[in-house]
Homo-oligomer: A and B are copies of this chain.
């Protein structure tokens, strides 16, 4: 549909595409109707050539001498990434991190709705309900369900993506359950490498690793 050579798109290109979109929305707010690869690149510390090369993986969106139409490019990039239509996702793990993710505004701004929350045991479930009084906590509107209702909910709400925010020692088991329930993508916050069938995609975020990487940058790459 959007691209002619699906398989071959380099990962770094897709990552930058998300950043282009983020930046384009800022340019849109500031009233710019058109944007050149040069200024878009500068706003992200990238070269203009890089921006153009990345975009031409998906088509020819620009006009020579003018640049790219901001509105148009936003909707094209959204369509490429798949965020042009809203979709339900589920969350497993109603601990501190899970509850924060549940309330995170950034997801809904991109069209992701946390439509179901699961947790292993009733302790977390009640804790999640009692503890928090802030109005922004989505756990007030989305009840925490036991894992036994996973499969049924996935089907009913047409969910394809899961956010995994459980302790490391439960992560693989829960991942197995998610796979079994028919999920096709997992955003994994547990510090373990998940083993899943090839049909399932995994994107891992290890918060402690990110801090560790920062520390190394500070100690070496600089003075």
A residues lining the B interface (CB < 8 Å): 3, 6-7, 9, 14-15, 17-19, 22-23, 26, 43-45, 80-83, 87, 89, 96-97, 99-101, 103-104, 106-107, 109-110, 112, 127, 130-134, 136-137, 160-161, 163, 184-187, 191-193, 198-199, 201-203, 205-223
Q: How many copies of this chain? A: 2
Contact B213 A203 (CB under 8 A): yes
Residue of B nearest to A195 (CB): B45
CA distance A124 to B206 in the complex (A): 27
A107-B215 contact, Cβ under 8 Å, with A9-B220, A132-B131: no
Question: Contact partner of A186 among B14, B193, B214, CB < 8 A?
Answer: B214
CA distance A212 to B199 in the complex (A): 18
A211-B112 contact, Cβ under 8 Å, with A44-B193, A131-B134, A184-B222: yes
Contact A205 B205 (CB under 8 A): yes
Residue of B nearest to A128 (CB): B134
